[in-house]
Structure 1
Amino acid sequence: MSTSISNPRVYAPGGDVTAQATAAITARRFVAISGNRTADGNLAVAPAAAGARTFGVAKHDANNGELVGVARDGVVKVTAGAAIAAGADVEVGTAGRVITATSGKVVGYAVTAATNNSDAEIALL
């Protein structure tokens, strides 16, 4: 019997949140709070600005006004905006992609190395 678990998270209160997109959102990219709750009572999110604080990572694509799942903790796949070394602190680059931290807000660290436009496995802070 194998003891490996491919996806150990079954339910994580507050770890995964549903929000409403206030702009087009691309999966596996960082999002940030973009305003107060929407008229429907959902949290409002949009792509995160480079170097800024984030709310989490979009779990799927969403158009403006659509609901989007946001991963807020654990290790998640994020599209890299440049080469990243395993173990490096990371920040948000352009278009919500992840890059090696230089002067922006550190949002996590790379669990694995990644090349530009590939998936980086990031431990969120």
Structure 2
Amino acid sequence: MSTTRINPYSYAPGANITGEATATISARKFVKISGNRTAAGNLAVAPAAAGDRAFGVAAHDAATGQLVHVARGGVVKVLASGAIAAGAAVQVGAGGAASTAAAGVVVGFAVTGAADGAVAEVAFYA
């Protein structure tokens, strides 16, 4: 009888995953990969800075060393930095919030508009 081994580090495209915070992370903000896997084998994530390539959106707050759920596919809810119009291209803005794309990496587009500090729904390009 043969057994099939599955690589435990493979993820489905756009799948939500768990990462380990390498810095304090705030809910509904973009996160980025911050290095190789942690000593515990988790993906290392930290807050994304303005213009960064985003890995996903933090589903909840996490202190350094804590696990955090990262939403990666479909439509994600992100705090807005500045007003965002529905349909506008979105990038990582100040403090890891979503902002209308200017000079950074486009990470998705706004499904709903949002005022500064409100929650925008963004179709994320995972």
Q: Is TM-score (shorter-chain normalized) higher than 0.5?
A: yes
- SS state at 1:85 partner: coil
**How far did 1:49 drift?**
1.3
Q: Is residue 118 of structure 2 the alignment partner of residue 112 of structure 1?
A: no
Equivalent position of 2:58 in the other structure = 58
Structure 1 unaligned residues grouped into runs of 5+: 1-11
Greater Rg by CA: 2
Deviation readout 1:51-93 (Å, 9 max, x if unpaired): 1101100010000000000001100110000100000000001
Structure 1 vs Structure 2 CA RMSD:
1.1
Rounded to whole Å, the distance in 1 between the matches of 2:109 and 2:64 is 29
Q: Secondary structure at the match of 2:40?
A: coil
> Which residue is equivalent to 2:72?
72
TM-score normalized by structure 1?
A: 0.89
Give the Cα–Cα distance (whole angstroms) in 1 for the partners of residues 49 and 84 of structure 2: 19
Q: Quick one: distance in 2 between partners of 1:96 and 1:52?
A: 9
Q: TM-score by structure 2 length?
A: 0.88
Number of residue pairs matched by the alignment? 114
Offset at 1:13? 4.0
Which AA in structure 1 matches 2:90? V
